[in-house]
Structure 1
Amino acid sequence: MKLSTEKIFTHPLGIMGAAAGATLLWGSAFPYLKLSYKELGIGKADVFEQLLFAGYRFTLAALLILLFMKLLGKSIGYVPGSLPRVARIGLFQTFLQYVLFYYGMSASTGVQGSIIAGTTSFFQILLAHFMYKGDQITLRRTIGLIVGFAGVVLVGLSKGDSSFQFGLAEIALLAAMFFGGLGNVLSKKESEHLDILYMTSYQMLIGGVALVAIGAVGAGIAPFSFSAKAVWMLLYLAALSAVGFALWNTVMKYNKVGSISMYLFLIPVFGVILSALLLDEQLHAYVWAALALVAAGIVIVNRQPTTPVTSGVTAAERK
């Protein structure tokens, strides 16, 4: 089974399907979060309510993964010695990322948030450059990142606002993307020692419970009046987190961070397109140009070297 999984997630189509699938799910979170906030009456200044809702989402996502593991016949019991590993990932990938993200988004524009979200790719590649000897930044990869980031900028311009002001909220968003990228790189490292589903579920559970605790301090443990629509949207957000992180952590396990990180540029692109469909926001020519640039960036970054590579993970990376 392990060999079969590795073959799937190191095949070009498997990589593209998993990475694009995860980013599509994460991109859909933008409109569904807005719809959820509207349904539950959560305003921009309701920081504790936002954190509490995020905690509900990730705690439920963790429970969904644990249920899936149980259905597969996998053990969901605690693996001795794994707490420091999953707690470290949960601290960065879930807790710190989303504390800063929701604070930043509460005081920033959607244009700035979308553009800054694309910087996770840069942080992942920079961190991998220092943490993995076989994942160095090359000229080709740099060009691909520049092309892809140009697409992210065009996505922002499609909103009609080309002025970018950096304040505390924008700094918080950048910090959130840094912690998200760090969590992704750490999850790749720890996946050499832990089962992907186990690692993903427990890091989400730790981060989600911590978010609930912080949110409950200012908003109470159950301030919301859930309608059937709100329940459905919460379930969807939890499911997309569970599936998205499981896919992403798996494809990260078997491949170099630098070659996969480019796909994170698709998150704001998917977010804008799905927002147009679900929230009736207008699409402009900038969006289609952005899609072309992002696609070109993906091709450039993932273009294989002339020397055949037998595995997506080098021996140097495993040290």
Structure 2
Amino acid sequence: MTAQRFFTHPAGRPLAALGATLLWGSAFPLIKLSYQHMDIHRDETFEQILFAGYRFTLAGLIILAMMILMRIPFDRNPRSWAGIAKVSAFQTVCQYLFFYIGLSYATGTISSIIAGTTSFFQLLVAHFLYRNDRLTPMRGLGVFVGFAGIAVIWLQGESSGFSFGFGEILLIVSMFFGGLGNVLAKKESAHSNIFFLTGLQMFLGGVVLLSVGAFQTGILPFHMDGQAIAMLIYLAILSSAGFLLWNLLMKYNSVSSVSMYLALIPLFGVILSSILLHERLHPTILVSLCLIIVGIVIVNRVRLRKESSKNA
């Protein structure tokens, strides 16, 4: 079976999407477990940044190595490199700088739910940057419902036994930069190979994070044994493998036919955080999760209908 046939098959397409979203959802508890195992505390900010740097430098190298094995040519256009550096500044450096620090203060379940807002921030950024990608009333409704999921945690947090504080705010800032980075990456992909764009921006961002962290802490300030190395390699592979699966889905399918699967990322993140971190699934968490998922579905059903009308 060819790649195109598998990724467009009624069974292959959801299977690949499930694989990608499961990998991305597993990142939340795995990073928390890595912090615990490597004895990285919430106040050790530069150790967290250094760990993020190791992950994305390795993830970028994996994708660039894949390009060599697949004989995909590297773009030597200086303009492309400048654009990729800009994407890297937001999509990797800014996003994961705030993400790794915020995650050390927040639970895995709440972090997973907040991650669902990336889709909404992406829509808001596109609304202000592109005249042909404005928010419609239904898209606005989807964004409203999604952010209502975050408001539920904020308003009911203390009475439900958990707080909405510094870590959660940093995670929201992280998701904003993620949405901005996604929009910039889409713009840059018009004249850059998507493999090269993603691999290089991860590598460049990883090196920046490594440099910032190592400048304050040294190159290896935390406990690193076989289990820690395995966790780090898994986190790097999930970034590169998740991208590869999603990129192939986007290549062989319409955006709208697969984008609703993004709602599975917070779902998998919450479930895996509950299992691996033994975090309690409070009813408030479940309500918030449902609102985020419904918001993502509303937004992407609008895209699907719009695309279907164009193809009719």
TM category (shorter chain) comes to: 0.7 to 0.9
Q: Secondary structure at the match of 1:82?
A: helix
Gaps of 5+ in 1: 312-319
Gaps of 5+ in 2: none
Output the CA distance in 2 between the equivalents of 1:158 and 1:203.
36
1:140-289 alignment, distance < 5 Å: 140-150=138-148, 161=160, 165-167=164-166, 169-248=167-246, 260=259, 264-284=262-282
Q: Secondary structure at the match of 1:244?
A: helix
Report the AA paired with residue 178 of structure 1.
F
Q: Give the corresponding residue for 2:23.
A: 25
Output the CA distance in 1 between the equivalents of 2:228 and 2:112.
24
Bigger drift between 222-231 and 276-285 goes to 276-285
Matched-pair contact (CA < 8 Å) for 1:158–1:287: no
Output the CA distance in 2 between the equivalents of 1:87 and 1:16.
33
Q: Deviations over 1:11-67 (max 9, x none)?
A: 998886666544332221111111111221111111111111100000000111112
RMSD across aligned positions (CA) = 3.7
Matched-pair contact (CA < 8 Å) for 2:67–2:195: yes
Output the CA distance in 1 between the equivalents of 2:22 and 2:268.
6
Q: Give the corresponding residue for 2:70.
A: 72
1:101 maps onto 2:103 in alignment: no
Report the AA paired with residue 37 of structure 2.
E
1:53 maps onto 2:55 in alignment: no
Output the CA distance in 1 between the equivalents of 2:18 and 2:195.
19
Output the CA distance in 1 between the equivalents of 2:127 and 2:60.
30
Q: Secondary structure at the match of 1:81?
A: helix
Report the AA paired with residue 180 of structure 2.
L
For residue 281 of structure 1, report the CA deviation from its aligned partner: 2.7
Q: Secondary structure at the match of 1:193?
A: coil
Quick one: percent identity of the two aligned structures?
A: 50
Matched-pair contact (CA < 8 Å) for 1:188–1:249: no
Q: Give the corresponding residue for 1:41.
A: 39
Output the CA distance in 1 between the equivalents of 2:35 and 2:57.
18
Report the AA paired with residue 61 of structure 1.
A
Given the two structures, how large is their TM-score scaled by the length of structure 1?
0.79
Q: Give the corresponding residue for 1:132.
A: 130
For residue 131 of structure 1, report the CA deviation from its aligned partner: 2.4
Given the two structures, how large is their TM-score scaled by the length of structure 2?
0.80
1:305 maps onto 2:302 in alignment: no
Output the CA distance in 1 between the equivalents of 2:29 and 2:99.
15
For residue 204 of structure 1, report the CA deviation from its aligned partner: 0.4
Matched-pair contact (CA < 8 Å) for 1:144–1:301: yes
Change in 2 beyond 3 A, CA 1:45/1:269: same
Q: Secondary structure at the match of 2:43?
A: coil
Output the CA distance in 2 between the equivalents of 1:241 and 1:152.
25
For residue 221 of structure 1, report the CA deviation from its aligned partner: 0.8
